[in-house]
Amino acid sequence: MTLLLLPVAWLIVLVVNIAPAFMPPTWAVLATFHIATPELPLLPLTVGGAAASALGRSRLALLSRTTSRFLPAREARNAVALGALFERHQRLGLLLLFAYCLGPLPSNWLFIGAGLARIRLRVVAVTFFLSRALADTFWVWGAGRASASLATTFERYLTSWQAILLQLAAMATVVLLLRLPWTRWLPIETAETAEVPRTDVRST
């Protein structure tokens, strides 16, 4: 019966990672299950949680992608140019993504930005999964301040001014990235030939 809690934990993680903001981090949700039910095996909990997290973030990126058509023209062109920059330097971008996701900082803004920039998501999601599988296992294993109550975990991140400030800073980062003049900074041929796609949605 204890093992039946695993898919419950993964489903909650999936939903949390689809939400664009103001949700507790994946490791805190998993740590709550780990502390409340010590019988749950750690690796299936965290690795499965990382997979659910990657699926949720990918869905968030796709939802963000559908809203790109409502961006002002300048921001839309900047988003496309930023996506082209990532594609040209994909190895470095994935390395930075892997390193960033090892920490406890929010990742929602990364996937919102990836969706708006129409970056191909498959390799991004795999990199995110590998990083979070390592990080979540470490954070859950070492969690000493996590709550044993799922309700308390959500309440803490919905009412904590530090958590709210961090989420607002993450969302402001997306706005800043779209406002930067990427079309001027990138090579002329990239900026001039990049068209803002409106209806085509690339496969993940």
CA distance 47 to 51: 6
CA distance 179 to 72: 10
Judged against a pLDDT cut of 50, whether residue 188 lies above it is answered with no
The H-or-E segment that residue 150 falls in is helix 150-159
User: Which value, to the nearest 10 degrees, does the dihedral of the CA atoms of residues 173, 64, 123, 130 take?
Assistant: 70
CA distance 127 to 106: 16
Q: Residue 142 corresponds to which amino acid?
A: G
pLDDT tens per residue, range 84-109 = 878 888 899 899 999 989 987 888 88
Q: Which two tokens stand for residue 63?
A: 């939802």
Residues 67 and 56: beta-carbon distance below 8 Å = no
CA distance 81 to 183: 6
φ and ψ at 176, to 5 degrees? -65, -45
Q: Residue 119 corresponds to which amino acid?
A: I
Quick one: pLDDT band at residue 198, thresholds 50, 70, 90?
Answer: very low
pTM, entire model: 0.78
Q: Is the dihedral of CA 101, 104, 109, 112 positive or negative?
A: positive
CA distance 30 to 90: 30
Quick one: pLDDT band at residue 2, thresholds 50, 70, 90?
Answer: confident
Quick one: pLDDT band at residue 21, thresholds 50, 70, 90?
Answer: confident
CA distance 119 to 129: 17
Instruction: Supply the pLDDT for residue 151.
Output: 67
Q: In which residue are the tokens 């590998």 written?
A: 130
Nearest alpha-carbon partner for 101 in 86, 111, 112, 87: 111
Residues 157 and 22: beta-carbon distance below 8 Å = yes
Segment 21-31 mean pLDDT: 87
